[in-house]
Amino acid sequence: MVERAHKPSAISPSTAAPQPSVQSERDRIIATLPTGDSVEVLLYGATVVSWKSNGKENLWVSSAAKLDGSKPVRGGIPVVFPCFGPPPKDHATGKLPQHGFARNSKWEYMGKNSSESGKLASGGDDSVTMDFGLSAQQLSDESKQAWQYDFDLIYSVTLGKDGLQTMLRIHNKGKESFEFQTLLHTYFKIDDISKVQINGLGSTNYVDKVLDASEHTQSDPTIRITGETDRVYKDIKQDTTSVVLDGKPRFDVIRDNLEDTVVWNPWIEKANSIGDFEPKDGYKNMVCVEAGAVNGWQKLEPGDTFEGGQILKSHL
Ligand code: BG6
């Protein structure tokens, strides 16, 4: 059990105004606002697997994604922790799988809340927060063996009328410090990759993983995806990265205490080589814009808490 100081109280059923509803199913929690906007969070990985606004799905999920806990979900918003990518062998995370254990562990649903403060949680009827917890004790034996620190994570997913907020709190419960990386691996659903521009990363330095991890500076303020793209933008000055479709704003990613962003699209060959990436031409309908802290390592001292996250906005 993850301990929590201020457990949320239930939404009062007595008010006449329509309330957000939160439904628990066997493997997921679904929140719906009176407007019909909704979010679905799988307990496996606390992975957001659907976020709909104005009747439209905003997130891409592969039609071959495993949702049964047998492997991380290919799509939605997997949570990356405590390492990003393949961990360096000589680091404390060195025995963990790519992107760590958070996305392939079963989280606990800790309850809903409509009154917590937060940029989207107005305290009214138009937003709802769901909290998910994962602590060292809940890990598989394999993960416990591979990373022997004591910690707990609380992941808060807030659906508001203006967007979706996902915030991760990382608490070091142990007696020694640890180093981590974290990232929110959002797969956006888009109509046509050839019409996409990504703005807000101009003049930023990045590592291009497609070009042997070489260092570059983003000279063009607008990024277009025309081939395999796997870039880690570091120390970004602007808070907001925007996905523009056909010249019109489509999504905003507003980072909160996360300085880096990965832009990823596997394109043709890589999509073909990823077993659970379907349909194979699905790369035309997705782009990942992943807010994170992945440039080097964040050190967390015993008793300390790190909090970082994002607000996603969908413009239609
Ligand atoms: C991105 C990485 O964040 O995730 C890529 O930068 C990686 O290198 C991609 O290919 C998908 O990773 P995975 O483990 O879900 O296949």
The CA distance from 50 to 107, in Å, is 17
Nearest atom (ligand 1) to Cα of 103: 15
Task: Check if the beta carbon of residue 249 is closer than 8 Å to that of residue 240.
Answer: no
For ligand 1, the distance from its centroid to the CA atom of residue 85, given in whole angstroms, is 7
Give tens-digit pLDDT for 132-165: 999 999 999 999 999 999 999 999 999 998 999 9
Nearest atom (ligand 1) to Cα of 183: 3
Give tens-digit pLDDT for 76-111: 999 999 999 999 999 999 999 999 999 999 999 999
| CATH architecture label of 21-190+256-277+288-314 | Distorted Sandwich (2.70)
| 290 ligand 1 Cβ < 6 A | yes
The CA distance from 241 to 253, in Å, is 5
Catalytic residues: 185, 290
| 63 ligand 1 Cβ < 6 A | no
What are the extents of the domains in the chain? 21-190+256-277+288-314
Alpha helices in the chain (DSSP H): 141-146, 267-273
The amino acid at 9:
S
Which of 181, 185, 188, 278 gets mutated to test ligand 1 (max ligand atoms within 8 A of its CB)? 185
Nearest atom (ligand 1) to Cα of 74: 15
279 preceded by cis ω (within 30°)?
Answer: yes
Binding-site residues from annotation for substrate: 74, 98, 103
In whole numbers, what is the pLDDT of the chain averaged over residues?
94
Residue located nearest, by CA, to atom 5 of ligand 1: 230
Give tens-digit pLDDT for 212-231: 999 999 999 999 999 999 99
Total number of residues shown for the chain: 316
Which of 39-48, 91-100, 118-127 comes out lowest in average pLDDT?
118-127
| 71 ligand 1 Cβ < 6 A | no
